[in-house]
Amino acid sequence: MKLLLTTGLTALRIPRHLGGGMIGLAAALAALAQPALAQLAAWDFTDENTAVASSVAEVFDVRLDSSNAVTRGSGAAASAANHSFRTLGFQDNGIATANTDYFQVTLSVMAGYSLSLGSVNARFSGTGSFCAAPGVSGQFAYSVDGTTFELLGSPFVMTAPGAMPQLDVAGIAALQAVPDATTITLRYYASGQTATGGWGYFSAAAGEFGLAISGTIAISELPHLTLSASPTTFAENAAAPGAIATVAIPAALATDLVVTLACDDPTEASIPATVTLTAGNTSASFEITPVDDLLADGPQTLDLTSSAAGHGSAKQTITVTDDGDAPPALGPGAIAFVGFNADGTDDLAFVALTPLAATATILITDKAWNGLALGKGGAFGSEEGVLTWTAPVGGVAAGSVVTLNSLSNAARSASLGTVSVAGPFNLNSDGETIYAYQGAASAPTGFLAIIATQTADATTGTGLAASHMIYLTHHADVAAYTGSRCDQANFAAYLAAISTPVQWVTEDGSGDQHANAIAPDVPFATTGFTLAGGTSYVAWAAANASNEGAGVDSDGDGVPNGVEYFMGEPGATFTPNPTVEDGKISWRRSASASASYVVTTSTDLSHWEPATSGVKDLGSSIEFTLPTGPTRIFVRLEVVPSP
């Protein structure tokens, strides 16, 4: 375990007697005018031996209020190396602020202070092939608005692990006396001798900093704004305004003062860009408007800030609570695409890697995603249409393949369930990206899978990992997964194979190739995915139910075979029906069972309908909360094992 240190305020001691007369006084005043640099932030990477997304500082001045972590650009994915914060994502394409392969830190001070940077020191290590002669070039860049970056000095070249030349930034005016309302962002870029560079910050021994930033923090002499809000907590669906905020100054001015306002998460609450304190007044108020999103994101803590010329900034923290949005029923990797056709009438195919309930709907679009995070500004463009696939009655068992056919015309259909479309849906043979998600057509609440025949479209902000996305041959017209469908111990394990391009066969050429007798052709294969190791219903029935079907009650206990398989029961002994406890009924769920399920209800034992609410999948069990009221109700669990 590494010791976390912080630096605090140091008392300034001035000698009672200054030697050397006026010369000594002048030297002392000069020293006071230029305070010695202090270590503001430093990172010791000792024992960081795994791939980590970020690294927290061991030294971080208590007057800094920014994040104390080193983070990564989207092109600098984490990789493992001893005592390192490293990536294999650094390229050999030169250094430019437009590159996404970088490491980043942010620095800002609390209200009442100003920040000046002095120097940056760092140690680096990596693979010999990346830093081989003529070496790896490195360069830092800075920004004071988080958007526009300026490179610092010239690139420094390293041909072996070690310390970089100290970077002196004391002469950069933009990095001196930075007010508390401004955040400094520093980025490190690298370009070496290979396209995938093993390279990054490194600590050779415990107590040695792989990255250290020095500078000074001074008390601001400016009069300070104050910012308050009432109430400080409100719901996202509260009537506008959710709260009233007030900004104030110590004394009235003879002229108007324009105060700039900002909210660090405008997807949760919105405020005006400015508010004006008119001449002769010491305060002004503005409205905080809640934003009602579709995400089940719980309470969100936001920071409101105010800043004005000639004044220190102020901050107010507020909390926006969730209004009970339901989380997506399915998570990333619940399905995976196994077929793509942009020729002829357009077709897709996907495999269910988890059971899809009868109430499941999946949205599919080829609209452009803007790359921002869900609920944080992430959105689709307005072009193209959206498909809605709805599961059939009884749901879809894990391992089942669903084909979506003739999607570009009115005769579109699905092999299981139904499919409809809003707007034009035409797959492009010159490069396409298909997103599967849940939520509303224009407001996703969770992504499931991506298939692409290009790399230009954004996938960041979707919450998907590499295994949830398949990138096919550039501009492929027709493609089909041809890997194994029967060799994995669980369905999620198939993601690794499906996301590997060599497991696919593709065709790309002129004309319509979707049915030319050259693989792959449409219709796509609907052969289901099964599990190795005897965890299928067929294997269970052979061992427990004399190979009888899922709807048969082999042991005569009133519980069908399929339900006993789903619950992990042996099948040859009595299985009691569940009882009501605290108004709830629950059924056990076996982790090895591969099946879809639906809870159905009836008032007469003749007509059964899927329950539209009250069902919770707890992983190891299925729970149903009984509706209140005088009407009697019958409940049963229906199970459809995977093929």
The answer to whether 125 and 200 are in contact (CB under 8 A) is yes
Please indicate, yes or no, whether residues 27 and 152 belong to a single structural domain of this protein. yes
| pLDDT at site 18 | 37
- The number of distinct structural domains making up the chain is 4
My answer on whether 126 and 174 are in the same domain is: yes
pLDDT of 189: 97
CA proximity to 308, closest of 272, 271, 258, 247: 258
Q: List the CATH number of the domain containing 237.
A: 2.60.40.10
**Residue 558 pLDDT:** 85
Last residue of a domain, one of 321, 351, 386: 321
Burial of 356 (0-12, 13-18, 19+ CB in 10 A): buried
Residue owning tokens 């295994």? 467
Same domain, 25 and 155: yes
Q: Which residues of the chain have pLDDT under 50?
A: 1-33
The answer as to whether 516 is a domain residue is no
User: Do residue 231 and residue 213 come from a single domain?
Assistant: no
**Does residue 209 sit in the same domain as residue 235?**
no
Position 4 in a domain = no
At residue 539, the pLDDT reads: 76
Q: Would you state the pLDDT for residue 545?
A: 78
- Of 138, 119, 115, the closest CA to residue 209 belongs to 119
Domain that holds residue 548: 537-641
Check residue 534 and give its pLDDT: 60
pLDDT in tens, 530-550: 877 667 787 777 777 777 888
Whole-number Cα distances in Å, 167 to 126, 177, 267, 338, 425 = 21, 18, 38, 51, 53
Segment 445-477, tens digit of pLDDT: 999 999 999 988 999 999 999 999 999 988 899
Q: For residue 376, what pLDDT is reported?
A: 80
The answer to the question of residue 12 being in a domain is: no
| 3-state SS, residue 236 | coil
Which stretches of 34-182 are DSSP H helices? 128-131
pLDDT of residue 4: 41
Considering 219, 236, 268, which residue would you say is the last residue of a domain?
A: 219
pLDDT reported for residue 436: 97
Do 155 and 69 have their domain in common? Answer: yes
Q: Is residue 51 part of a domain?
A: yes
